[in-house]
Amino acid sequence: MMKGSIIPLFVAIPLAGAFLTSFIGKKIEKLPDGLGLFTSFILFVLSLSAVRLYNIHGILTYSVGGWRPPVGIGMVLDGLTAFMLVTVNFVAFCIVIYSINYMKKFTSKWKFYTLFFLMLAGMNGVIITGDIFNLFVFLEIASVASYALVAFGTERHELEAAFKYAVMGTVGSLFILLGIAFLYGYTSTLNMADMGNILATNGINNIVLMVSVLFLMGFGLKAALVPFHAWLPDAHPSAPAPISAMLSGVLIKSLGIYAICRIFYNVIGINPVMSSMLMFLGTLSMVIGGLLALRQWDLKRLLAYSSISQVGYIILGIGLGTPLGILGGLFHLFNHSVFKSLLFLNSGAIEYSTGTRDLREMGGLAQRMPVTSTTGFVGAMSIAGIPPFSGFWSKLIIIIAAVQAGRYGYAFLAVLVTILTLAMYMKVIKYAFLGNLQEKWNKVKEIPFFMKLSMGILAFVCLVVGLVAGMAFLTGMDQTFIHRASETLLEGTRYAGIVLKEIK
Amino acid sequence: MNLGNELFKFDALANFVGIFITLFSLLIVIYSFGFMRQRKGMFQYYIYIILTLLASLGVVFSNNLILLIVFWGFLGLLLYLLIGFGQKERTPSTAKKAFIIIGGTDALMLLGLAFIWKIAGSLTMDKISIALNTKVAIWTYLCLAAGAFAKAGAMPFHTWVPDTAEDAPTPVTAFLPASLDKLLGIYFLARITLDIFQMNGAMNTLLMGLGSFTIIAAVMMALVQHDLKRLLGYHAVSQVGYMVLGIGTGNPIGIAGGLFHMLNNTIYKSCLFLGGGAVEKRTGTTDLDKLGGFAKIMPVTFVTFLIASLAISGVPPFNGFVSKWMVYQGIIDTSKDGSYLWILWLVAAMFGSALTLASFMKLVHAVFLGQRSKEQKAPSDNRKETSSSMLIPTVTLASLCVIFGVFAYQIPLKLFIFPSLKMTDTVFYGIWSPGLATGLIIVGIVVGIIIYLLGTVAKTRETEIFVGGEIVKEHPEMRLSGTEFYNTIKEMGFLRTIYRLAEKKVFDIYDIGKTITSGFNKVLGTLHNGVLPTYLAWCLLGMIILFFILLR
Amino acid sequence: MIIYLLCLVLFCCGIYCILRKRNIIKIIVGIIISEYAVNLFFILTAYRVGGRAPIFSSEAEILNMVDPLPHALVLTSIVIGLATTALLVAIAMRIYEKYGTFDITKIRELKG
């Protein structure tokens, strides 16, 4: 029990942070920043130590309130969890650094931090919980916080986007709850490991298939898979830039993709039909998101559509179900978290300095904002899959995996979308940073220090991950950290046995 | 397992290409000292050049396909950054276009790489040998070849080359599209064609067809250009055709010819671009209508330019002739398998060569001969040769043109080409001894001069004014700029339509892609109409479809 | 069985309301309706034929009781639903301030 006691901290700390910020942050002006930075830093360090703990001890569990699962609520730390925790908390940490300067233009920073940490608590909760209803609760905490954050600016577009997002998100949650109800009725348990065990012995039947459709729709909506994606291009651009980064960077992944992975691999158990369903949806999102992104002139909206497209890659990789595919999918998940956050922060930096998001009004900003343009360039190259940046490797792995699995058509489409991605980011760079500086931007200033720092860290990670991945790729990649995460998924429903053994 | 051997290898072909990559980089750096002086960001510029050199060497020496593609993709990025140093209005668009075409084909190469892993189970190049007998293998070859084609600038991925030539700084054009990218593209094509795949007849025919088409189409486009650098850019495309043709023949002499032509083309094409750059630096324009009469002002540049022009046109005794000759022999050699297509290829190659000569006649006339245009009748202090740092590279390259032509067999072929192909010797059809021929040519020229001198004594014939074989119609300034040459070609019925379509960029793969995607975009854009119930309806519809599929 | 069907009917009513009504308040009501339909269904999974309330007493040994868990869960989900509804209504009010309409088809500045 001692070993696992780190696990609930991932929920407790951000909740405490949210509470403290709202309680005392109102009165002291600088406090929310300091508190936010402190909390998110601790979370980041904890997530790293969780990886270490997992590497030493293997799967760890924690029983909430001392009630042993499957009766009580269990929390599990395994490879996938550790991986997701690092991703989420790292990005959150960078975003908090960025917000110190950026959020100055909004009043009441403490509200922002409160909602932010609530959302973070929800995401961490979704990741570490081992109980399916608990997962739903945390998912709703994160979602509701994110609806509120999208509306944070309370202007026309923010409100419209938040409303659409909230309605669609709620409908998605409804279907998830319905699915949970069916599953509970069928298995009489809520513990995911236990459920997985029972489902594995009973085999696949129509109820399970129906539930999987409900989950696919519900979590697919959270992950913004086409055709459930329509809220994303409204919601993500409307939020303040740090929140856009958080939403696109990690929220759709922890709420959508992580949940899909966990439920389809470890609870229901993947079968060929579902696998091809996932691949189809992934490819569809990839292509449609890519095509739509290309026609946007609003920078953040372009980035949002591109998120849909990149999520498609991740789902394609995961849907392949082969070790290489899952590895590629998860690696791309991490990379996308990093570079999409970077790009959204970048767009925020441009908006911060110039006050516009329209690409046609920009131009030549590289001359005035060298740090922004350099980091933006790194992010764009990374997402476009140009070696040696990180995105190249994950796309390479996904394409190789698709070919290995004999899915030539999907591999070809993945390649085509790579070209589309390149084209759309070349468009961004050309219109935003290159060309002649317009007169009205002559007095544009570079952004403040903390924003630069945060973007610098993310850009650095893009490059370093690319180089490290390259080395790992050329020398053999059995021992990497993501590999452990993909092993968790590959164990499939045997996960249940391992977790339950650990509990008893 | 020794990782070093897995990742890198130093065989004769790689060494040969590597040596020349280094040489060209050095020349370009020297040239840039003169050309790029007084511009901003020069520190970055030289960093990029050095990185380009390193990445190119990486491509050449890597033995692992992934490593190769990493360097290859990185080169595309560097190309983009380097084109960005151009100062024209259109430079960002051009850089974007070049990068999208290159990056796009790089993505295709990734697919090819994935296929190779699937088929051969290894990515170490010297361990792979794939027979082109399955569909997948053919696709693999095409994917990889697309990358090589785009890099080298062969059709149909060529469209970035002329644009880049026009809008990028001249040293960059001479460095990447004209020399390094050619070397690397053809190097990779040779690698996959010779080492990785076992070619078959159909694929060879396809390569030869593409090569011939590239030669003719690009040179036809070059004929009607009005911009010095753009014209050279089209020639850069056209010459790739010979290399692809040579490699496509699949017999030793043809392949050796193709590789030799790659080397030669790099030499004279860089020389031409650098010479053109010298003119540009002096005048600030590359518009042929505004140039003229520079032979007197810049004699050294003129001579080097002339040598390079003759070399590219395949006039003996310069190097271009030897390699073209070898390619022709390779083509004739393919007649052994009983098909008659070789006649077509041979005609295309020779005709292309003639057209090249014709277009260079126009170019040399427009830039160096003729009268100076009004705008360029500058004060006399302009009468200077360019700076020495810009002359050294051009002179070096021009002398290489001559040396590699006259001593073709002794130096380049024996030292570089034959070892790379593991050939000991080869049979030349016909009698061609460069040394002897040079002597004969010199004798011929002397005799010609004598006849000319004698001829001036004879009675002359009066006729309309004509130049370059065509009647001159309008000459308001009493000045022939040379750009009017071959305008009649543009007016010929069938060709007229083609030129017109080409001007609208109907044949540009980049624009085709743009049109297609924007079509999809419009449809998808109208679907996202902002009405919430519609979006919800999609969700439910999607779910119902999923139900149907899963619960069938 | 019939009660399950009624539950389904209620759910469909809610979905219909979300899809077909233009007024955003009605859409919110639709969401609430379908939410309750799902909650109802969840409660129904607890039902055992002839079961009694799951209350321990010393009088008699309990042989057949309904499953107590879903009740707890549904309470949680009702609370979540409440939070969502409150947020949605708050946003709807603000939208009315800005757009001057409740018609969802007229609130469509974000598109394409």
Helix (H) or strand (E) holding B21: helix B12-35
Of A334-343, B179-188, B435-444, C76-85, give the lowest mean pLDDT range.
B435-444
Tell me whether C33 touches chain A (CB under 8 Å).
Answer: no
Residue A480 reports pLDDT greater than 70: no
pLDDT range class, residue B345, cuts 50, 70, 90? confident
Of A114-123, A266-275, B333-342, give the lowest mean pLDDT range.
B333-342
Q: Is A76 helix (H, G, I), strand (E, B) or coil?
A: strand
* Structural contact between residues B225 and B287, judged by C-beta atoms closer than 8 angstroms: no
What's the topology of domain C2-49+65-106?
A: Helix Hairpins (1.10.287)
Tokens of C30: 């639709």
* Structural contact between residues A338 and A375, judged by C-beta atoms closer than 8 angstroms: no
Of A96-105, A176-185, B395-404, C25-34, give the lowest mean pLDDT range.
B395-404
Counting one residue from chain A and one from chain C, the pairs whose CB atoms sit within 8 A come to 91
Query: What number of other Cβ atoms are within 10 A of residue B340's Cβ?
Result: 7
Residue A74 is given by DSSP the state E
For B113, which residue in chain A has the nearest alpha carbon? A400
CA angle centred on A353, ends A351 and A357, rounded to 5° = 25
User: Does C15 sit within 8 Å of B531, measured CB to CB?
Assistant: no
**Looking at CA atoms only, how far is residue B512 from chain A in angstroms?**
13
Residue B270 reports pLDDT greater than 70: yes
- Alpha carbon of residue A242 to chain centroid: 14
Count of alpha carbons within 13 angstroms of residue B416, beta-carbon side:
19
The pLDDT of residue B486 is: 62
The pLDDT of residue A501 is: 65
Tell me whether B522 touches chain C (CB under 8 Å).
Answer: no
Facing A137 at nearest CB: one of C45, C80, C109? C80
Residue C64 reports pLDDT greater than 80: no
Mean predicted confidence (pLDDT) in B263-279 = 84
Residues of the domain holding A285 = 3-503
Tokens of B32: 């840039």
Query: What number of other Cβ atoms are within 10 A of residue B360's Cβ?
Result: 24
Tell me whether C35 touches chain A (CB under 8 Å).
Answer: yes
Mean pLDDT, chain A, integer: 86
The pLDDT of residue B440 is: 67
The pLDDT of residue B267 is: 86
Q: How far apart are the first and last CA of chain C?
A: 45
Residue A278 reports pLDDT greater than 60: yes
Query: What number of other Cβ atoms are within 10 A of residue B57's Cβ?
Result: 17
Q: Which residues pair with B217 in a beta bridge?
A: none
Mean predicted confidence (pLDDT) in C32-45 = 91
The pLDDT of residue B434 is: 59
Mean predicted confidence (pLDDT) in B18-32 = 85
Contacts 24+ apart (CB under 8 A), B356-359: B356/B219, B356/B222, B356/B235, B356/B238, B356/B312, B356/B313, B356/B314, B357/B313, B357/B314, B357/B315, B358/B223, B358/B468, B358/B485, B358/B486, B359/B219, B359/B222, B359/B223, B359/B231, B359/B235, B359/B486
- My answer on whether omega of the bond before A240 falls inside 30° of 0, hence cis, is no
The pLDDT of residue C38 is: 93
Partners of A209 on chain B (C-beta within 8 Å) are 550-551
Task: Name, in order, each residue with C-beta under 8 angstroms of B198's C-beta and a sequence gap of 6 or more.
Answer: B129, B130, B131, B132
Of B237-241, B360-364, B483-487, C102-106, give the lowest mean pLDDT range.
B483-487
Mean predicted confidence (pLDDT) in A393-397 = 88
Residue B381 reports pLDDT greater than 50: no
* Structural contact between residues B341 and B248, judged by C-beta atoms closer than 8 angstroms: no
The pLDDT of residue C9 is: 93
Q: How far apart are the first and last CA of chain A?
A: 11
What stretches of B36-134 show up as alpha helix (H) in DSSP?
42-61, 65-83, 91-120
Instruction: For chain C, give the percent of residues with pLDDT over 70.
Output: 96
Residue A144 reports pLDDT greater than 90: yes
Closest CA to A420 of A332, A292, A290: A290
Instruction: For chain A, give the percent of residues with pLDDT over 90.
Output: 34
Dihedral pair phi/psi, residue B41, rounded to 5°: 70, 30
Tell me whether C94 touches chain A (CB under 8 Å).
Answer: yes
For B531, which residue in chain C has the nearest alpha carbon? C105
pLDDT range class, residue B70, cuts 50, 70, 90? confident
Tell me whether A189 touches chain C (CB under 8 Å).
Answer: no
Tokens of A204: 């696949």
Residue A354 reports pLDDT greater than 80: yes
Q: What share of chain B is helix, strand, coil (3-state, %, to 5)?
A: 75, 5, 25
Mean pLDDT, chain B, integer: 78
Mean predicted confidence (pLDDT) in A366-376 = 86
Of A417-431, B237-251, B393-407, B473-487, give the lowest mean pLDDT range.
B473-487
Residue A108 reports pLDDT greater than 60: yes
Contacting B residues, span 24-83, partner chain C, CB-CB under 8 Å: none
Residue A155 is given by DSSP the state S
Residue A176 reports pLDDT greater than 90: yes
Digit-coded pLDDT (tens) for B397-425: 888 888 887 777 777 777 777 777 766 55
Dihedral pair phi/psi, residue A300, rounded to 5°: -70, -35
Mutation site for B-interface testing, chosen from C12, C21, C108 by largest number of B Cβ within 10 Å: C108
For A172, which residue in chain B has the nearest alpha carbon? B539
- Residue B430 to residues B60, B332, B408, B427, Cα–Cα distance (Å): 34, 12, 16, 9
For C106, which residue in chain B has the nearest alpha carbon? B531
* Structural contact between residues C45 and C67, judged by C-beta atoms closer than 8 angstroms: yes
The pLDDT of residue B198 is: 81
Instruction: For chain A, give the percent of residues with pLDDT over 70.
Output: 94
Q: How far apart are CA B318 and CA B316, in angstroms?
A: 5
pLDDT range class, residue A259, cuts 50, 70, 90? very high
The pLDDT of residue A142 is: 93
Residue B372 is given by DSSP the state P
Closest CA to B262 of B280, B282, B277, B247: B247
User: Does A473 sit within 8 Å of B66, measured CB to CB?
Assistant: yes
Residue B379 reports pLDDT greater than 50: no
Residue B63 reports pLDDT greater than 70: yes
**Looking at CA atoms only, how far is residue B545 from chain C in angstroms?**
17
* Structural contact between residues C80 and C47, judged by C-beta atoms closer than 8 angstroms: no
Digit-coded pLDDT (tens) for A204-231: 788 888 899 999 999 999 999 888 988 9
Contacting C residues, span 15-54, partner chain B, CB-CB under 8 Å: 15, 18-20, 22, 27
More reliable by pLDDT, B123 or B430? B123
Chains touching C, CB cut-off 8 Å, 3+ pairs: A, B
Q: How far apart are CA A98 and CA A95, in angstroms?
A: 5
**Looking at CA atoms only, how far is residue C100 from chain B in angstroms?**
17
The pLDDT of residue A163 is: 92
Digit-coded pLDDT (tens) for A429-464: 888 888 777 777 777 788 888 899 999 999 999 888
pLDDT range class, residue A1, cuts 50, 70, 90? very low
Q: How far apart are CA B368 and CA B491, in angstroms?
A: 27
pLDDT range class, residue A116, cuts 50, 70, 90? very high
The pLDDT of residue B273 is: 85
Q: Which residues pair with A75 in a beta bridge?
A: A62, A129
CA angle centred on A150, ends A146 and A153, rounded to 5° = 140
Facing B531 at nearest CB: one of C20, C104, C112? C104
User: Does C69 sit within 8 Å of A166, measured CB to CB?
Assistant: no
Mean predicted confidence (pLDDT) in C73-96 = 92
Q: What is the total residue count of chain B?
A: 552
pTM: 0.89
Tell me whether B539 touches chain C (CB under 8 Å).
Answer: no
Mean predicted confidence (pLDDT) in B132-137 = 82
User: How many domains, in total, are found in chain A?
Assistant: 1
Counting one residue from chain A and one from chain B, the pairs whose CB atoms sit within 8 A come to 157
ipTM: 0.94
Partners of B71 on chain A (C-beta within 8 Å) are 387
The pLDDT of residue C36 is: 92
- Residue B118 to residues A115, A283, A303, A400, B106, Cα–Cα distance (Å): 48, 21, 34, 8, 18
Residue B371 is given by DSSP the state P
Partners of C87 on chain A (C-beta within 8 Å) are 144, 147-148, 166
Tell me whether A166 touches chain C (CB under 8 Å).
Answer: yes
**b or e along C24-50 (b: 16 or more beta carbons within 10 Å of the residue's beta carbon)?**
beebbbbbbbbbbbbbbbbbebbeeee
Mean predicted confidence (pLDDT) in B448-464 = 60
Tokens of A183: 């599953």
Dihedral pair phi/psi, residue B379, rounded to 5°: -60, 170
* Structural contact between residues B243 and B186, judged by C-beta atoms closer than 8 angstroms: yes
Q: Indicate the residue type of B408.
A: A
Q: How far apart are CA B86 and CA B176, in angstroms?
A: 14
Mean predicted confidence (pLDDT) in A345-354 = 89
Residue B372 reports pLDDT greater than 70: no
Partners of C20 on chain B (C-beta within 8 Å) are 533
Count of alpha carbons within 13 angstroms of residue B524, beta-carbon side:
23
Instruction: Please return the burial class of C99, using the count of CB atoms within 10 Å of its CB with bins 0-12, 13-18 and 19+.
Output: middle
The pLDDT of residue B476 is: 46
Partners of C15 on chain B (C-beta within 8 Å) are 540
For A168, which residue in chain B has the nearest alpha carbon? B536
pLDDT range class, residue B49, cuts 50, 70, 90? confident
The pLDDT of residue B477 is: 47
For A296, which residue in chain C has the nearest alpha carbon? C112
Task: Name, in order, each residue with C-beta under 8 angstroms of B29's C-beta and a sequence gap of 6 or more.
Answer: B46, B49
Facing A166 at nearest CB: one of C69, C91, C108? C91
The pLDDT of residue A337 is: 92
Tell me whether C109 touches chain A (CB under 8 Å).
Answer: yes
Q: Is B531 helix (H, G, I), strand (E, B) or coil?
A: coil
Mean predicted confidence (pLDDT) in A119-123 = 93
The secondary structure of B403-461, three-state, reads HHHHCCHHHHHHHHHHHHCCCCCCCCCCCCCHHHHHHHHHHHHHHHHHHHHHHHHCCCC
Q: How far apart are CA B498 and CA B216, in angstroms?
A: 13
Residue A185 reports pLDDT greater than 70: yes
**b or e along A370-382 (b: 16 or more beta carbons within 10 Å of the residue's beta carbon)?**
ebbbbbbbbbbbb
Mean predicted confidence (pLDDT) in B436-463 = 64
